[in-house]
Amino acid sequence: MINVTKTYLPNKEKYKKYIDEIYENGWLTNNGPLVQRLEKRLAEYLGVKNIVLVSNGTVALEIAYRTLGLKGFVITTPFSFVATTSSLVTNQLLPIFADIDQNSFNLDPRNIEKLITPNTSAILPVHVFGNACEVEDIEQIAKKHDLKVIYDAAHAFDVKYKDQSVLNYGDISTLSFHSTKLFHSIEGGALIINDDELVQKARYLINFGIKNAEEIPHLGTNAKMNEFEAAMGLCVLDDIEEIKQKRKVIVENYSKELKGLVQFQEQNENATENYSYFPVVCDSEEQLLKVQKALGEKDIFPRRYFYPSLDTLEYIEPKQECKISRDISKKILCLPIYAELEKNIQEEIIKIIKDTI
């Protein structure tokens, strides 16, 4: 069975050495030495000032909203994983959807300003499939209207925009380190925050709001990463360049062989790629379903990602319609991509698509 992705597992003996260290010191959670080590190494690798590790990518978003004190409406994209929207709703924030760009699949900055009201507190764009948003245009709009910007950068690990980390843009960027991601720590996530005062507030919030043994200044939660997850992260980080290179070869192969048959995502020309996903857009939903069926018959399972468009969710009020997002979501398919995907499987996937389309 070939799924859309496969978790990268590092050398077992290397991981075991970290586990032995955990057993020796008995420190399993609460900002342990491996979490501290991973934060330091990731900050250096990614080129960011401050990074706060948390238990998953969804809680990273929630901590970001609370750190910035968001209220009311948040303008966001309907073309994302459901957590981008559900995390807003569960924090009593109302998602206001701005439609996406037909080619980049990212929130289109031209659709933002007309949706801003006195109740709007922030903009929440997504670097879709790791493709950098038009961060300068979004920053200009946010400054003009005194809005906060949080980037859902779950897919944008090690993406650079104009020679610096794209994670440095906005007030806060969040990452997911779920086991399906390019870089993972089994579960996990992170907040990238430039403001040192906000970093300290975020650290209180992920530990129940506790400042010290006698002070609890904030309403917090338990969002800490544990030592076993940090150990996995340290191992995977050692191999990340090799992982990226292998995925790059697969992307180049798909791109070469499928050019002209399907629509590819248009990459931001000022940004680098990290080869996290390989989405293709078919001519119609009917064509997509044929391709999906043909691949499934060979035990190859791509993913309709992202589907459905989030503006169609039943629990979202008021009802909103984003035509481009709805259209793309019905026709998009992410093909299998992971470091160990064999060349013969890649060729079989390509052949099936060519024969079906």
β-bridge pairing 120-124 and 148-152: parallel
Asked whether 95 and 255 are in contact (CB, 8 A), the reply is: no
Spatial CA neighbour of 171 closest among 190, 194, 154, 152: 194
Spatial CA neighbour of 58 closest among 156, 218, 192, 178: 178
The upper half-sphere exposure of residue 224, i.e. CA atoms within 13 Å in the direction of its Cβ, equals 19
Mark whether 49 is an active-site residue. Answer: no
β-bridge pairing 164-165 and 300-301: unpaired
For Cα atoms 274, 279, 283, give the angle at the middle one, nearest 5 degrees: 155
Asked whether 89 and 95 are in contact (CB, 8 A), the reply is: yes
- Read off φ and ψ for residue 291, nearest 5 degrees: -65, -45
- Catalytic residue (choose from 148, 160, 181, 244): 181
Q: If DSSP codes are grouped into helix, strand and coil, which group holds residue 134?
A: coil
Catalytic positions, written as ranges: 181
